[in-house]
Chain A
């Protein structure tokens, strides 16, 4: 008898957003969820990632439409800031709900 695929046994796992589920991106999303916006340097210091790593993960999140990169002048100095988009915020909340639901009753 052929073995049933894992995703079929646990359909909720299949629905988990893999863009957010990756640990490094989950850390970035968590920070941006609780902060309004932050620049690359602040996120680097908080997450402990390298520039390259952080940059590639932010690009993936940006491509997914979860974060946006904006330019802002503060005291006449330009800052490149990253913030969650509305869909990024909703996706993160959905991810929270799914993870909580998955472990319910354990």
Chain B
């Protein structure tokens, strides 16, 4: 039994070390900050930015190939792990499509838009949904810092509900924390894992 647990921890450790570069935090953080800024300054166009998720995702993959793989190596995880990642991705895509549909409805039928986006409880619903998404990502990926992001998102949503000074505070707050944390992680990662020289690898 303990052997099974050890194998699980080996797999989890391998997966976590592949994500200790902080890139996912930086990319999601930037997306959330951009989303917050757009909602604040250009509220009609926020849902177009949600589509930027796909552009950011391809940039993330490119960064992974340029930064992480030359230092950490290339790995293909087990089918079970890939399935979990696919589920997370699908859930995010469904939520993004849903968000886009809501945005289009709000643009086409302004009274409905007011009902959806300007209700007093909207911020709490957004906070709860966002918090759950972060927690689910943390649970499914074993990247525990996403639980902290869930708490920050939910907490800042509750704060905004009582003190509605800046309605985009939850997005910007969690986005900033993620970007800063991710940048620190990336700095540490680059120092800890310098690029392996090709000569050393070929000598293997």
Residues of A within 8 A of B (CB): 30-31, 33-46, 51-52, 54-55, 74-75, 77, 79, 81, 96, 99-100
Contact = CB atoms under 8 A, between A and B. Distances in A.
A33 B75 CA distance: 13
B204 A45 contact: no
5 contacts: A31-B10, A40-B201, A41-B72, A46-B14, A52-B204
Nearest to B61: A75
Contacts of B10: 30-31, 34
Contacts of A96: 3
A38 B76 contact: yes
Contacts of A36: 75-79
What is the interface of chain B mostly: helix, strand, loop, or mixed? helix
Q: Which 9 pairs across A and B sit closest by C-beta, in order of nearness?
A: A42-B73, A41-B73, A34-B11, A36-B76, A51-B204, A38-B75, A55-B204, A39-B74, A42-B75
A101 B74 CA distance: 35
Contacts of A55: 204
B73 A35 contact: no
Contacts of B77: 35-36
Contacts, number: 74
Contacts of A52: 203-204
A45 B193 contact: yes
Contacts of A43: 73
A99 to B, nearest CB: 7
B17 to A, nearest CB: 7
B65 interface: yes
Given A33-B7, A45-B193, A51-B200, A75 B74 contact: no
Contacts of A44: 73, 204
A24 B27 CA distance: 37
Given A52-B204, A99-B3, A40 B73 contact: yes
Nearest to A44: B73
Contact of A45 (B8, B17, B65, B76): B17
Nearest to A81: B74
A44 B17 CA distance: 13
